[in-house]
Amino acid sequence: MSRLDSMLRRLTAQRDGLNWAAAQIEGLDGDVLDMGLGNGRTYDHLREILPQRRIWVMDRVLQCHPDSTPPAEDFLQGEAEPMLRKLAASGPRIALAHYDFGRGIKHEDVAEAARLSPLIAQVMIPGGLLISGQPLVGFPQIKGPDNIAPDRYLFYRT
Ligand SMILES: C[S@@+](CC[C@H](N)C(=O)[O-])C[C@H]1O[C@@H](n2cnc3c(N)ncnc32)[C@H](O)[C@@H]1O
C-alpha cells in the first residue's frame, strides 16, 4: 500500500472513530482532550461535532492552521508528561480523549504511547472513551465502529 493510501485510510478511520466516539459519550458529563494539536484538523473536527463540550488540546508547539487555534485557556502547551499532570491536578474530568501524538516512527510512537498511558489514565473519568492510533496500555480495549479495521484505530473504555 502506498503511503498516500495508508494516510487516507488513517484519516478516514480517525474521522469515523471520532464521530462514533462522540455519539458514545452522549449522556456522560465531561470534557474532551485531543492529544496532538498538530495542524489542528482533529481539534477542528471535535469542535464541530461536540460544540457543547470543553475541548482541551495538547502539543509542545503551537503550529496549527490559524482557523484552528484553540483558546489560550484550553491549550496545554508543553511536553505531554507535565501537561497531563497539570490536567490531572484538578481531578479526572475527561470523557473522551483522542491520542494523536507521534511522528510516524512506529517503535518510538508505540513506546511513547505506553509510557504516557498511566498519566492518561489519571485524567479520564470512569466510563469514558479513549481512541488512539497507537496502542495504549492498561485500558480495556473495546470494539469500535464496524467500518474501521481493528488494527487501524484503537478504542478503549476507561
Ligand atoms: C500527528 S501530529 C497531530 C495531528 C493533529 N491531530 C491534526 O489533526 O492535525 C502529532 C503532534 O503531537 C505533538 N507531540 C508528539 N509528541 C509529543 C509530546 N510528547 N508532548 C507534546 N506534544 C507532542 C507534535 O508536536 C505534533 O504536533
Give tens-digit pLDDT for 131-158.
Answer: 999 999 999 999 999 999 888 899 999 9
CA distance readout (Å), 80 to 35, 52, 71, 96, 149: 8, 25, 18, 17, 28
Q: Which domain holds residue 49?
A: 3-157
How do residues 45-54 score in pLDDT, each as one tens digit?
A: 999 999 999 9
What is the pLDDT at residue 119?
A: 98
CATH of the domain at 66: 3.40.50.150
pLDDT of residue 149: 86
Ligand 1: residue of 76, 101, 115, 153 to mutate (most ligand atoms within 8 A of CB) is 101
- When divided into structural domains, the chain yields a total of 1
Indicate which residue's Cα is closest to atom 2 of ligand 1: 38
Residues with CB under 6 A from ligand 1: 36-42, 59-61, 79-80, 100-102
